[in-house]
Structure 1
Amino acid sequence: MDRRTFIKGTGVAGIAGLAGCTGGPTQEATESATDTPTDSGGDMEDTETETTTESGPAANVGMVYALGGLGDKSFNDAAKRGVVQAEEELGIAYAEVQPEASEEFPQFQRRYAQSTDPNYDLVCCIGFAQQSALAETAPGFSDQNFMLVDAVVDEPNVANYVFREEEGSFQVGHLAGLMTTRSFDAGSGETQSDSTNVGFVGGVDAPLIRKFQAGFEAGVNYANSDVDVSTAYAGSFSDSAQGKEIATSMYQSGADIVYHAAGATGLGVFQAAKEQGKYAIGVDSDQSLTEPNFADVIMASMVKRVETPVYESIENVVNDDFNGGSTTTLGLEEDGVACVYGDQLGSAIPQDVKDAVAETREGIISGDIDVPTEPQ
């Protein structure tokens, strides 16, 4: 199937169907090769001015986001930062869709691949849940470039990017284990020196999220083997009410720091931390900045720089150097993940704690500390 060949029933009308999902290509966008695809950020005029020249944009990129969508202040928003950076620095144009169910992944991947006006030079598939869909889509569109974040599809037209989430999670676990056993009072939370309990809230129970759990638990244990880790999964990346209920139960059971790897569900963790006068650890983005209303309880974030592979893959396409068939792994050494202290609370964290966390970072990079990828 050649994406540059008109596919009966999936031409302008088929691509226009994407407009029903937030930010999808509009019919107007498919009718002119020089039109800029819809930007769900609501600033289409600026996008056209900045990315469209007489010869058109440097590349057209289709973004298929993970479940939970934009506005999660975490994973998807980090991916969007990458494509916006490419828009500003490389002169590309992009369209984006936010699937509401995993069953929608194949149709959105195919519709971008089938588009002839414009031709999409790259389709970015964000999140591990797109793996099975892309494994079926990619072979049918051999001349279409795809990139995939958080999973691997072994096809020559797919550039894969994965992270060592367990390494960054070890770092924030080490921090939590050190802080929960001392008295600390800053912002709107506090810890008690007699506390021996911290928590982990996952979104969907999947191998990728268990890597976050495994690293966090290992880091806590490295700090103090007497500290217990309570764990629970919300079953969703977009259910803040469930996240709040789980975290509230953990705080009321004695945890004074809770780490989440749950997308928009994590907002509920922050809400619970503030109400209970405890602390939380964010994920993917520096959530003390993306969720400023809770900066006074966000001790740190396990930043996962999803924007890096998005930008890099687009840059490769623009430079005619697409790395299809490869897998790039990003960990602490590559600065793909990191423990980033909270914007408001970071300066209050004791220096000896920061020094200890810095030491384990070097230990992980050197191989002296082995971080598990499965909970023990």
Structure 2
Amino acid sequence: MKKSFVLLLCVLVCTMLLTSIASAADDVKKVAIILDPVGVNPFLTQVVDKFAEVKAAGTYPMDYSVIECADDTAWAENIRASVEEGYDLILVVGWQGADPLNEVATQFPDKAQYVIIDTVCDNPNVKSYIFKPQEAAYLIGIVAAMVSADAGKPEGPFGGVHANPGQGSFEWRYGYMEGIKSINPKVTNDDFIFNYTKSYTDAPTAKELALQQAAQGCVFINAASAVADFGTFEAALEKGFYTSGQDFDRTSPDNPNIITTQVKYTGIVAGMIIDEFFATGIQPGVVSLGLKEGVVGATYITDDGVNPRNTAVLTDAIVAKAREAADAIISGKLVIEVPLEEEYMKQ
């Protein structure tokens, strides 16, 4: 009888342990992160790194998969497959995923929770996080105007090698232009030169465009084409003009001509999403983040730099002026609303 009791007790304990393990496994939430090939693009690496950090810390019972989209068709396929495979949270990073996410979230509203970063998905089941890059670009414009003035060219021309033309990316150009005009109201739209790589990775094209702008007399060329910016950086070092990076501090002791960076902290946004998902569940809607929330900014202006500041070019006077503008934006005294590009460029 005693042996039978002990055996029965062991069976009960084992059953309880197995049930507990199964229950714990059921509590682990699965997250799908769907995005472009990550590579070294800081806009994407910050998101992935934040999930890795939270996972390693054991903050939440979470597993995640990084699902890269090699081409346009892959977005729809990967988003739909993630729902079918039972992921609890579908996080899409990039405007390319807006339309397929809208379709899937409409068709399967209760199968998962849905979030997109960097564009608005007009769907009642999706939470969209967007940025105010025009606020940070305004600070870069102030830097560009004052650096050019110190070099004897207060009226430019002012350059910009950006990824794409069109209204969708105009906020980068508009903030930059308005920041320059705030320093020198005599500057007109004709004093700007913008060219486009039409790629986030084509550094050779960025370099060639930057060299052309340098030949036209640009002292400062705003780089806004993600990883392709390395081409503009290389041209700056060769030709002596000054430039700025994007998304993550791109200053370098090997290239003193990169004097600041227009930062965008997608990692902070990823942390917000994780916390909300586990605290209350995702609350659909649109959230717009800027300087006030600490999600965009400029190196040495709103954020410390990884490297020492090139004080010979980015002087204390320039930093003070840009910080004054940043404070005005954060307080709401200065509001930068992006108009239609077509109307603005007619001025």
Q: Normalised by the size of structure 2, how large is the TM-score? A: 0.81
Mind listing any 5+ residue stretches in structure 1 that lack a counterpart? Answer: 1-52, 183-191
Match of 2:295 in 1: 336
Match of 1:200 in 2: 160
Alignment of 1:135-214 (within 5 A): 135-143=102-110, 144-182=112-150, 192-194=151-153, 196-214=156-174
Alignment of 1:30-69 (within 5 A): 55=25, 58-66=28-36, 69=37
C-alpha distance 237-57 of structure 1, shift in aligned 2 (>3 A): farther
Alignment of 1:227-242 (within 5 A): 227=187, 228-242=191-205
SS at match of 1:369: coil
Match of 2:88 in 1: 121
1:149 Cα deviation after fit: 0.8
Alignment of 1:246-265 (within 5 A): 246-265=209-228
C-alpha distance 122-255 of structure 1, shift in aligned 2 (>3 A): same
SS at match of 2:149: coil
Given residue 198 of structure 1, which amino acid in structure 2 is its aligned partner?
F
When Rg is computed on C-alpha atoms for both structures, the one with the higher figure is 2
SS at match of 2:164: coil
1:293 Cα deviation after fit: 7.1
Contact kept? 1:295, 1:343, Cα under 8 Å = no
Mind listing any 5+ residue stretches in structure 2 that lack a counterpart? Answer: 1-22
C-alpha distance 259-87 of structure 1, shift in aligned 2 (>3 A): farther
Match of 2:178 in 1: 218
Q: Quick check: 1:110 aligned with 2:75?
A: no
Given residue 214 of structure 2, which amino acid in structure 1 is its aligned partner?
Y
Contact kept? 1:298, 1:345, Cα under 8 Å = no
- Greater helix fraction, Structure 1 or Structure 2: 2
Match of 1:97 in 2: 67
1:295 Cα deviation after fit: 4.6
C-alpha distance 74-280 of structure 1, shift in aligned 2 (>3 A): farther
Q: Quick check: 1:130 aligned with 2:130?
A: no
Q: Among residues 314, 317, 324, which one is paired with 2:283 in the alignment?
A: 324
2:232 and 2:308 map into 1 onto residues whose CA distance is 17
1:72 Cα deviation after fit: 3.6
Q: Among residues 357, 365, 372, which one is paired with 2:330 in the alignment?
A: 365
Given residue 274 of structure 2, which amino acid in structure 1 is its aligned partner?
I
Q: Deviations over 1:175-203 (max 9, x none)?
A: 11111111xxxxxxxxx223622211221
C-alpha distance 295-161 of structure 1, shift in aligned 2 (>3 A): farther
What percent of counterpart residues are identical?
22
C-alpha distance 57-249 of structure 1, shift in aligned 2 (>3 A): farther
C-alpha distance 345-252 of structure 1, shift in aligned 2 (>3 A): farther
1:214 Cα deviation after fit: 0.8
C-alpha distance 110-271 of structure 1, shift in aligned 2 (>3 A): same
2:333 and 2:134 map into 1 onto residues whose CA distance is 15
Aligned length: 306
Q: Normalised by the size of structure 1, how large is the TM-score? A: 0.75
Contact kept? 2:256, 2:310, Cα under 8 Å = no
